[in-house]
Structure 1
Amino acid sequence: MPSIRLLHLTFAGSGRERAQVVFGEKLTVIYGASDTGKSFVTEAIDYMLGARKLDLIPEAEGYSQIFLGLSLPDGSVITLMRGPQASRVHVFDEDVRDLVYRAPDLDLSVSARGSKNISRYLLEKLGLEGTLIATNDTGGTKLVGFRDLLHLCLISETRMVSKVPPVLRSTGTSGQTALKSVLKLLLTGQGEPVTDARPNAAQRRLQKGKIGLLDELILDLQRQLDPHRGNEGELAAQLHRLLAHQDTVATSLREITLRHTAAAGRRADVAIMLGQYDQRLAEIDDLLGRFGLLRSQYESDLARLAMVSEAGNLLGYFRTGACVFCGADPEHQTAEHDQETTALHAAVAAEDGKTRHLLSDLRLTIDDLQIQREGVAGQRENCAAQAEQADLEIARITEELLPVENLASEAMAARSRLEKELGLHNRIQELQEVRDQLVADGAVPGGRPTSSIPAGAVAAFDRAVERALHAWHVQLRSVSYDQYTAELFVGDRGRVGHGKGMRAVLHAAFAVGLADYCLGEERIHPGFIILDSPLVTYRQPVAARRTDDENLPDSVSDYFYRDLFHRFTGQAIIVENTDPPADITGEAQVYMFSRDPDDHRFGFFPVGAARGSDVSES
C-alpha cells in the first residue's frame, strides 16, 4: 500500500553541532522535561511538509538548513531541505544529513499555486495526483492537498485537547464540506467525480425530499448494526465459516446422539434382563419359603412319631410279657393279644419311613433350588454390573453431548444474528444505491456532503477506533463517527462533552484508528501519525499509577505505547512528558530530553546551542 516513512529530522549550520532525531521504523518516543524542545520537533516536521512558517526557538539560532529524510512508497529515499524562513523546498534524491551546497535534484514551492509544489509532489508519490474533494453542497470541487491529509495524522498539542472535532479545523462552517470530504477520500479511496452539468433549482427541490428520507432510513438502519460485527464482506466470510462450523458441530452431534441412543438401547435390554432375574429370584424365594415350612412340618411329624415309639417302648406296648391291656401272663395270652400291639408298631414305623423319604426328597429339592438361586443371583449381579457400566457410559456421553448441544445452539443463534446483520447491510446497500443514483443524477441534499460515506466504511472505521481504545484499556462504550456533524461519539455523548484529558485520548484514537483502517484496507494514507501530548492530561477513572509494586495494574499510558509498537502497522511518533514503559524504552526509538546536560541529552539542540535562553516550547 502507498505510504511514506519518516527517516530523520536534522538541523545543520556552519560551525554548529548537528541537531538530529532519527525516527524508528515503527515507534519513536520523545519525552522528558518541559521547555526542552519536544513540541518543536513536531512543528519542524509540519514545516518541512508544507507549513508556511516555523516559530524558531533561541536554540535554533545559527542553523541554516533543515533536513527531513523520507522513504517513499516505491522504496526510494529522498531528503527535503528547507531554510528556517524559506518559501521553497529543495529535494535531493538521496539521504542528506549535513550541510549541502550543491544544487538540488528538484526545487518545489510551498505555495499551492502552480504545478511544482511540495503538496503535488507528495500526492503524486502517494498516487493521489488529480484527486478531487467536495467544497460545497452544490457540486463544487477542488484538488486535494497533502496538507489536507496531514491534518488528520499530525496532531499538535493544542489540537489534541481542542473541542473542535478531529476532522475539522474550527467550529465555523467554512470549509467543513472539504474537510469531511478528505476523510471520505481516505475511508473509501475514491475522490469526487468531475461533473459538468448540474440540475436546476426546481430539480434539486424535487429530489431533496427523497434524499432526506433515504438518509433517515439509512441512518436508522446503521444504528441497528452491531459495530463489532464487521463490514458486509467480513460478515459474509463469518457466515461462511459459521456454516462450515455448524456442519462440523451437526456431524459431531449426530455421532454422539447415535452413540447415546445405542447406549440407551443397551441399558434398556439390561433392564429387561434384570427384571427377569428379579422375577426368577422372587419365584425361587417363594418356593424356598414354602418348602421350608413343609420341611418343618415333616420334621415335626418325625418328632411326634419318635415320641409315640418311645412312649410305646416305655409302656411295653412293643415287647413280650404280661399283657398291658388285660394283665394275662404270656401262657394265658391268646393270638389276638399280639396283633393289636404289632399293628400299632407297624403303623408308627411305616409313617416314620414314609415321612423320612418325603423329607429326603424335599431336602434334595431345596438344595437344588438353593443352587439355582445362587446361579440366578450371580447372573443378576453380572447384569447389574453391566447396567452400572451402561449408566456410566450414558452419563459420559451425556457430558460429551451437552457442550456440543450448547455449541449447536450458539451456532444457530450466531447464524441468526449474522443473517440479520447481512440483511441490514443489504437493505442499506439497496437504499444507498438508490441515493447514489439520485446524487449521480445531480440531486444534492442541502446542508450535507455531496455523497455520504458508505455505512460499511463508517462502521469499520468505528471498530478501528474502538480497537485502539480497547487495546489501551480505556473502558468506554461503543464509539461512532457521525459523518454529518464530523463529531466522534462515545455512546450518546460527543467528544466535545468530555474533559480535555479524554478529548486528547479520543483524538489520538481517531488518528490511530484512521491509520489502522486505511493501512489494513489498503487505502491511501501518509503512513505515519505524529501525536503531541496525547496522554499528558489523561487520568484513569481509578487510581492505578505505576509504582515499584509489580502487582499493580499498568497504566493506560503503558498499554498505549505497547499497542503502537506491537500492533500498529504504520509509523508512530509520540511526543509526551511522561516516561514510556521500560520494555518500550528498550525496543523502540526513544529520546529523553532533559534540562540536565549530564542526564541523557539536553534537548533537541545540543547543550551549546543558546543554552541559557528561555525556551518557549514544551
Structure 2
Amino acid sequence: MSSLKLLHLTFAGAGKETAQVAFGSRLTVVYGASDTGKSFVTEAIDYMLGARRLNVIPEAEGYSQILLGLALPDGSVITLMRAPRSSRISVFEDDLRELVYRAPDLVLSAHHTPRSSKNLSRFLLERLGLGGALISTNDSGGTKLLGFRDLLHLCLISETRMVSKVSPVLRTSGPSGQTAHKSVLKLLLTGAGEQAAATRPNASQRRVHKGKIDLLDKLILDLQQQLTNHGANQTALEEQLRRIITHLDARAVSLRDVTARHSAAAEKRATLSVGLGRYTERLAEVDDLLGRFELLRSQYESDLARLAMISEAGGLLGYFHTGTCVFCGAEPEHQRTGHDEQETTALHTAVAAETTKTQHLLSDLLVTIEGLRAQRQDLADQRGAALAQAEAADREITRIEDEELRPLQNEATELMTARSRVERELGLHTRIQELEEVRAGLVADGALPSGRPSGSIPASTVVDFEQTIQRTLDAWQVRRAGEVSYDQYSAELSLGDRPRAGRGKGMRAVLHAGFAVALADFCLRRDHSHPGFVVLDSPLVTYRAPGGRDAALPEGVRHHFYRHLFTDFAGQAIIVENDDPPADIVEQAQVYLFTREPHSQRFGFFPAGPGHSPTPSDE
C-alpha cells in the first residue's frame, strides 16, 4: 500500500519550550474552544507539505523550526524541517522531535516545479509511486506532471473549504484548472494517470502556446517593472518583513506603555482641574463672607464711636451731674430725692450696656474674620500647590507627547508604510513566480493534436466510489434522503435530487468529510496510491439533523463518526473539532484538548509556561 503516515508536528526554537502534537496511527482528535490554535495545526501541516506561507500567530513567534515527522511507504521515517518564512525544506532521515542543529541529508524546494526534481512534491510523489504521473490539462489531450498539492487538497480540508459550495474535487470555483482537478480524481480512483502525448503539437497549437507565452512574458515584465527594490529577492524580502514585524511588535509594546503613562498623566491633570475648581469656588465663598463681615465690622465700630460720643456729650452737658434737671428742668428744691440720679444713671447704664454689647459682638466678629482669613490663606496655599502640580502635569503631558508618543507614532507609521511596501513587493514576487510556473508548464507540456479528448472514469468505478461514500455516511448514521451520486463531468456531488452546493453548510461539511474519507478508503483498500491520511477541520460543528434546525448534533452521529474512523477506516484520520469526542474515543485514540484555561490539560497548541506540556491520552 503506497501511503504516508503523519507522526508528529513540532515547533522548536532556541530558549523556547517545544510545542508538539504527536499523531496516532489511526485517529487523532484535537478539540476545544475557539481561538485556541486548533486550526493552526491544520495550517501548519499544510505549510509543511508545500503551502506557500503560514500565517504565524503571536504565540509562534520565537520558534525558528517546524518539524513534521513522516513514515514513508517503505517503513522508513523522515523528518521535514522548514522555517516559518522559508521556501526551503530540509529532509532528515531520522525521527527528530527537538531543535535540530546538524546538517540535513537533503534540501528541497517547498514549491512544485516541472523544471526541477529537487522539490518536496517530486520527492513525496516518487515515494508514493506517482513519480512522473501525468494529469490532463484540457480536453484536447494536454497533460502536465502531477504535483503533490494536486492530491493534498483532496485529503486536507480546512474549515473554510469544509463548508464551501465548491465541489470537493475542485480547488477553486473558477473554470481554470477544472480539467486537471477532475483528472487527479480519475488517477486516484483508477490508479493510472494519463498517457503522454505520442505526437508533437501541430502548428495551430504551437501558435496558441506561443501567444500564451508572449502574454505571460509581458505580464511578468510588467510586474517586474512594478518592483521598487529590484535587488531584493523573495527570501530577502521575507526576512525584511520579519524584521519589520518584530520592530512593529516592539514599538507596539512601547506605544502601549507610553500611551498608558500619557493617559495616567491626563487623568491626573483632570483630577487636579477638578480640585482647582473646587479651591477657586471655596475661595470665592470665603472672600464673599469676608466682605460681608468687614461691612459688619465697620457698622460695629461706627456704633461704638456713636456711643462714645453720646457718653462724652453727656459728660460735657452735665447729663450725669446734680443741679437743674436737664431732662425735666426742675430745680433741685423741686426734685424728689434721687430724681437726677435715676435719670442720669439710667442713661449712663443704657449707653454702657450698649457699648459693652457692641464690643462683645465686635470681638466675636474679629475672631471670625481672623479665622476666615486663616482659612483663606490655607485654601490659597492648597490651590497654589494644586496649580503647581497641574503645571507640572501639563509639562509631563507635553513632554510625553513631544519626546515619546509622537516619535513612536511616527516610527510606527513609517514601519507600517514599510511593511505595506514589502508585502506588496512579496505579492508581486509571488505573482511573478506563479506566472513563471505557468509559463514553464506551457513550455514543458506538449500540446496534443486537436480532437483527442481526455479519458473519463469508467462508469463501474464511479458507481463503486458512490457506494463507498454511501457506506461511509451510513456508518456515521447520517440521515440521507436519496442515493449519493457523482457527476464526473460537472464534478458535482449530489444526495438524492439535490446537489451538495444546494444543501445547508452543515450537510455540505458532512458530505465533504464523507467524500474525503471515502476516497481515501476506496484507494487504500485497492492498493491505489493515496497520501494515506485525511485532515478534517470542523466536519461536524455546523451539522444539524434534518427537521431539527435548533436541535443539537445527535450524539449518535458524533459517536459513530469517531468510532468508524477509529475502527473501520483504512487510513489515518486527524480531526479538528470544537465539541468533545465520545468518552471511549478519549480513552482509546490520541486526543488533545486545547483550552485557554490555566492549569488545564493543554493550554492551546503552544505551551503557556512551565507545567503546560502536552499530555494526550495514548492510543
Query: Is structure 2 residue 532 aligned with structure 1 residue 490?
Result: no
The reply to whether residue 465 of structure 1 matches residue 457 of structure 2 is no
- The alpha-carbon deviation at position 545 of structure 1 amounts to 10
- Cα distance in 2 for residues equivalent to 1:199 and 1:53: 36
- 2:530 maps to a residue whose letter is H
Q: Which amino acid aligns with 1:485?
A: S
SS of 1:181's equivalent in the other structure is: helix
Equivalent residue for 1:288? none
Give 1:59's aligned residue. 59
Note if 1:480 corresponds to 2:485. Answer: yes
Q: Is the 8 A contact 2:544 2:550 kept in 1?
A: no
State the distance in 2 between where 1:140 and 1:545 align. Answer: 50
Structure 2 Cα separation of the partners of residues 201 and 578 of structure 1:
60
Deviations 1:548-588 (A, max 9, x none): xxxx9733111111110011010000000011000111100
Write the distance in 1 (CA, Å) between the matches of 2:199 and 2:135: 17
The change in CA–CA distance for 1:602 and 1:101 in structure 2 (over 3 A counts) is same
Larger Cα-atom Rg: 1
List aligned pairs for 1:192-231, cutoff 5 A: 192-197=194-199
* 8 Å contact kept, 2:140–2:449: no
Matched, 1:451 2:443: no
Q: Answer yes or no: is 1:184 the counterpart of 2:195.
A: no
- For 1:122, the equivalent position in structure 2 comes to 124
Q: TM-score, normalised by structure 1?
A: 0.57
The residue identity in structure 2 corresponding to 1:567 is D
Give, in whole Å, the separation in 1 of the partners of 2:474 and 2:95: 39
Deviation at 1:442, TM superposition (A): 7.5
Q: Retained in 1: the 8 A contact 2:124–2:148? A: yes
* Maintained 8 Å contact 2:67/2:80: yes
Change (3 A) 1:98 1:474: same
What corresponds to 2:518 in structure 1? 513
2:560 corresponds in structure 1 to 559
Name structure 2 gaps, 5 residues minimum.
Answer: 205-447, 613-619
Taking the aligned partners of 1:499 and 1:187, their CA distance within structure 2 comes to 28
Kept in 1: contact 2:199–2:449 (CA 8 A): no
In structure 1, distance between residues paired with 2:572 and 2:502: 30
Shift of 1:73: 0.1
Identity %: 68
SS in structure 1 at match of 2:565: helix
Alpha-carbon shift at residue 171 of structure 1 (Å): 1.7
- 2:161 matched residue in structure 1: 159
Counterparts of 1:89 and 1:198 in 2: how far apart (Å)? Answer: 36
1:463 maps to a residue whose letter is Q
Does 2:45 align with 1:45? yes
| Equivalent pair of 1:596/1:602 in contact (CA under 8 Å) | yes
- Is the Cα contact below 8 Å between 2:59 and 2:606 reproduced in 1? yes
Structure 1 residue identity aligned to 2:565: L
Q: Deviations over 1:329-365 (max 9, x none)?
A: xxxxxxxxxxxxxxxxxxxxxxxxxxxxxxxxxxxxx
Q: 1:523 aligns with which of 512, 522, 528?
A: 528
Q: Does 1:536 align with 2:544?
A: no
Q: Which amino acid aligns with 2:475?
A: A
Distance 1:128 1:459, change over 3 A: same
1:520 maps to amino acid:
R
CA distance in 2, matches of 1:597, 1:524: 44
Distance change >3 Å, CA 483–CA 155, structure 1 → 2: same
Q: Find the counterpart in structure 2 of residue 79 from structure 1.
A: 79
Q: 1:586 is paired with a residue of what secondary structure?
A: helix
Mapping for residues 174-573 of structure 1, pairs under 5 Å: 174-197=176-199, 443-445=451-453, 450-476=454-480, 477-541=482-546, 554-573=555-574
Mapped to 1, the partners of 2:562 and 2:475 lie a distance apart of: 10
Task: Supply the distance in 1 between the matched residues of 2:554 and 2:82 (Cα, whole angstroms).
Answer: 46
1:54 alignment partner AA: L
Aligned-residue CA RMSD in angstroms? Answer: 2.3
Q: Which amino acid aligns with 1:453?
A: I
Contact between 1:7 and 1:71, CA under 8 Å: does it hold in 2?
Answer: yes
Q: Which SS does the other structure have where 1:16 is aligned?
A: coil
Distance in 1, matches of 2:523 and 2:2, equals 10
TM-score by length of 2: 0.57
CA distance in 2, matches of 1:553, 1:148: 35
Q: What is the CA distance between 1:443 and its match in structure 2?
A: 4.1
Partners of 2:53 and 2:85 within 8 A in 1 = yes
State the partner residue of 1:217: none
Deviation at residue 491 of structure 1 after TM alignment: 1.5
For residues 441 and 105 of structure 1, what CA distance do their matches in structure 2 show? 44
Q: Distance in 2 between matches of 1:22 and 1:582?
A: 20
Partners in 2 of 1:553 and 1:602 — Cα distance? 28
Matches of 1:444 and 1:492, distance apart in 2: 33
Q: 2:12 touches 2:64 (CA, 8 Å); kept in 1?
A: yes
Q: Distance in 1 between matches of 2:600 and 2:457?
A: 50
TM-aligned CA deviation for residue 522 of structure 1: 1.1
Q: Deviations over 1:151-174 (max 9, x none)?
A: 100000000000000011222111
C-alpha distance in 1, partners of 2:554/2:597? 31
Note the C-alpha offset of 1:441: 11
In the other structure, the counterpart of 2:18 is 18
**Relative to structure 1, is the Cα distance of residues 581 and 543 closer, same or farther in structure 2, using a 3 angstrom cutoff?**
farther
Q: Which runs of 4+ in 1 moved over 2 A?
A: 196-202, 440-445, 541-547, 552-555
Native 8 Å contact 2:544 2:551 kept in 1: no
Q: Can you give the 5+ residue segments of structure 1 that lack an aligned partner in the other structure?
A: 203-439, 612-618
Alpha carbons 1:199, 1:442 under 8 Å: kept: no
Say whether residues 1:173 and 2:175 are aligned partners.
yes
Contact 2:479–2:546, Cα closer than 8 Å, also in 1: no
Residue 91 of structure 1 aligns with which residue?
91
For the 8 Å contact 2:50–2:121, the answer to whether it is kept is yes
